[in-house]
């Protein structure tokens, strides 16, 4: 009877039933993939971070392969080895030369600040309307926040050490992505119909250039601000100038908010000694901010498509909420990738016709 019923259906009804079955199978497959992704979220995150860093580092690898020494030209494998050696040398220099002063200043700062809070409170009480700000309550909260922050830093260190295996795995995967990433990329493109393949390829390559140039430019700006801050704060004899300069450069990746937080912290530390040092810190950053906006950003970011500050803030917020520090690390490059895809496939540039 089922066969008779199916024979009575028109070709259009047969196609409709086939489409319904296809939609049901697609929905079941999508749910299974989501469940699998949820189960393997840690492994997928490592794969994504590795692939992303491979994309960022590939322009450097390509430049090394273009170097010619007489008749010798490095292969991709040799270029990757050279790049790894350069990265290891930079990290060794940072951990042996740059990090110890920062940790020393951090230890001294965390030990000295609770003793300095009464001095800060005494100075704040001399300001107008200080009696309406409930200074004593603010001081108690600041002490509690400092204690909790210090305890978090010491208790979080073993957790960071437990991720060494994940970091090493991500590093090896990054190397393999740089070696064999083109084959995986071609296979990925082969999953799409031929008419859409070329468009997707051009879009992804444009996103690759945007991510690489933005990241290199942003790191350059962070290094310039960090080094300049250390030099100026040192000349002003500001306490913990190495730590403050390091934080200035590090938080420069967060627009507006990062600058406000670090400049406020540096100004408060300088104010512990004298108002003159505090004004020196504020004047320095005012001059630097104008130079950065007028000279550095146009020159360094000239060939990259900048993301809006709101986009960066939202991506950092979401990335941190989803995957902690690792999510924050890859949030901005991911936002750059998504922005290129949206510009190509979602944004409608057609202006509305006049009515």
Sorted by where each begins, the domain ranges of the chain are 194-344
What is the C-alpha to C-alpha distance for residues 52 and 65, in angstroms, rounded to an integer?
20
Cβ(212)–Cβ(55) under 8 Å?
A: yes
CA–CA–CA angle 55, 61, 63 (5° rounding): 120
* % the chain with pLDDT above 90: 2
Structure tokens at 9: 């259906």
- Cα 219 to its chain centre, rounded Å, is 10
Q: What is the pLDDT of residue 63?
A: 86
For residue 235, the tally of other CB atoms under 10 A from its CB is 11
CA distance 300 to 214: 9
pTM of the model: 0.65
For residue 160, give Cα distances in angstroms to 52, 78, 311: 21, 31, 28
- Cβ atoms < 10 Å from Cβ of 175: 18
Work out whether the CA dihedral 310, 311, 312, 313 comes out positive or negative. positive
Which pLDDT belongs to residue 9? Answer: 59
- Can you list the residues of the chain whose pLDDT is less than 70? 1-15, 17-19, 113-162, 255-257, 300-307, 309, 325, 348-355
Q: Do 262 and 228 touch, CB atoms closer than 8 A? A: no
Q: What is the 3-state secondary structure (H, E, C) of the chain?
A: CHHHHHHCCCHHHHHHHHHHHHHHHHHHHHHHHHHHHHHCHHHHHHHHHHHHHHHHHHHHHHHHHCCCECCECCCHHHHHHHHHHHHHHHHHHHHHHHHHHHHHHHHHHHHHHHHHHHHHHHHHHCCCCHHHCCHHHHHHHHHHHHHHHHHHHHHHHHHHHCCHHHHHHHHHHHHHHHHHHHHHHHHHHHCCCHHHHHHHHHHHHHHHHHHHHHHHHHHHHHHHHHHHHHHHHHHCCCCCHHHHHHHHHHHHHCCCHHHHHHHHHHHHHHHCCCHHHHHHHHHHHHHHHHHHHHHHHHHHCCCCCCCCHHHHHHHHHHHHHHHHHHHHHHHHHHHHHHHHHHHHHCCCCCCCCCC
């Amino acid at each position: 009877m089922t066969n008779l019923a199916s024979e009575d259906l028109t070709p259009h009804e047969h196609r409709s039933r086939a489409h319904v079955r296809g939609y049901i199978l697609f929905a079941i497959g999508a749910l299974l993939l989501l469940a699998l992704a949820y189960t393997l979220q840690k492994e997928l995150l490592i794969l994504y971070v590795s692939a992303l860093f491979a994309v960022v580092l590939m322009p450097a690898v390509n430049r090394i392969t273009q170097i010619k020494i007489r008749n010798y030209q490095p292969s991709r494998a040799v270029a990757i080895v050279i790049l790894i050696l350069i990265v290891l040398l930079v990290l060794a220099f940072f951990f042996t030369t740059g990090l110890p002063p920062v940790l020393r200043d951090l230890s001294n700062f965390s030990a000295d600040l609770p003793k300095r809070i009464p001095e800060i409170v005494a100075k704040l009480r001399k300001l107008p309307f200080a009696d309406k700000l409930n200074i004593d309550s603010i001081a108690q909260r600041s002490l509690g926040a400092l204690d909790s922050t210090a305890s978090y830093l010491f208790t979080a260190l073993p957790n960071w050490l437990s991720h060494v295996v994940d970091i090493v795995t991500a590093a090896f995967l990054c190397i393999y992505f740089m070696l064999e990433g083109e084959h995986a990329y071609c296979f990925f493109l082969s999953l799409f119909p031929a008419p859409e393949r070329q468009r997707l390829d051009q879009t992804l390559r444009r996103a690759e250039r945007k991510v690489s140039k933005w990241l290199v430019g942003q790191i350059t700006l962070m290094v310039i601000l960090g080094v300049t801050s250390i030099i100026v704060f040192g000349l002003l004899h500001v306490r913990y100038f190495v730590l403050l300069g390091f934080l200035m450069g590090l938080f420069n990746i967060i627009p507006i908010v990062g600058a406000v937080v670090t400049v406020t912290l540096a100004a408060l530390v300088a104010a512990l000694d004298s108002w003159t040092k505090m004004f020196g810190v504020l004047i320095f950053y005012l001059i630097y901010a104008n130079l950065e906006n007028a000279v550095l950003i146009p020159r360094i970011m000239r060939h990259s498509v900048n993301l809006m500050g709101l986009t960066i803030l939202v991506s950092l917020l979401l990335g941190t909420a989803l995957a902690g520090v690792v999510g924050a690390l890859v949030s901005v490059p991911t936002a750059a990738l998504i922005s290129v895809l949206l510009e190509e496939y979602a944004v409608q540039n057609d202006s509305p016709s006049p009515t």
